[in-house]
C-alpha cells in the first residue's frame, strides 16, 4: 500500500499548473504601464491573486475589480450593503484560517488605472486564468 501512495503523490503534484509572471512575454508586454479607464462603475473587492513568491505559486489576497451589476455582483453599493454578509459568504469562498473576504468600495466610471503586472494564474489541473 505504501508503494502505491508514493507513486501516486508525484503524479498528483505534477498535474498542478503553476502561475507565471507574464510581464516579459510578447503577448503581455504592451500592457505594462498602459493607462485604462473604466467605462462603468466598478466594485473594488478583496480577491485572490497569484503569489509568485509562495509555495507552489499559491494565491494571496489582493484588491480586485468587477463592474457593478455584472457577473453576479449587485446593481449598486446600496443594494450590496443591504445584503452584505449573505453576498460575501456566497460570492467569496472562505479558506481555512482566512477571514471572510468582502467588497471594499465602489469607484465611478472614468476612474483610470495603470497596469503594473500581468500574471497567468494557474487554476486547477488543466487551465489558467
Q: What is the pLDDT of residue 117?
A: 84
Label residue 58 by pLDDT band (50, 70, 90): low
Which grid cell sits at 76?
Answer: 449598486
Q: What is the 3-state secondary structure (H, E, C) of 6-23?
A: HHHHHHHHHCCCCCEECC
* Element at 35 (helix H, strand E): strand 35-37
Q: Could you give the residue ranges of the DSSP H alpha helices within the chain?
A: 2-14, 26-29, 77-82, 84-91
- Distant-in-sequence contacts of 93-98, Cβ < 8 A, 24+ apart: 98/61
pLDDT in tens, 3-19: 444 444 444 444 456 67
Mean of per-residue pLDDT scores for the chain: 80
Amino acid at each position: 500500500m505504501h508503494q502505491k501512495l508514493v507513486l501516486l503523490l508525484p503524479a498528483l503534484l505534477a498535474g498542478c499548473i503553476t502561475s507565471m509572471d507574464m510581464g516579459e512575454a510578447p503577448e503581455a508586454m504592451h500592457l505594462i504601464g498602459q493607462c485604462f479607464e473604466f467605462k462603468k462603475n466598478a466594485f473594488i473587492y478583496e480577491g485572490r491573486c497569484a503569489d509568485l513568491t509562495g509555495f507552489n505559486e499559491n494565491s494571496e489576497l489582493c484588491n480586485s475589480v468587477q463592474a457593478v451589476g455584472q457577473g453576479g455582483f449587485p446593481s449598486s453599493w446600496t443594494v450590496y450593503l443591504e445584503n452584505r454578509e449573505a453576498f460575501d459568504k456566497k460570492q467569496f469562498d472562505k479558506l481555512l484560517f482566512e477571514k471572510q473576504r468582502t467588497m471594499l468600495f465602489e469607484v465611478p466610471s472614468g476612474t483610470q488605472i495603470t497596469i503594473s503586472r500581468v500574471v497567468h494564474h494557474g487554476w486547477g489541473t488543466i487551465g489558467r486564468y
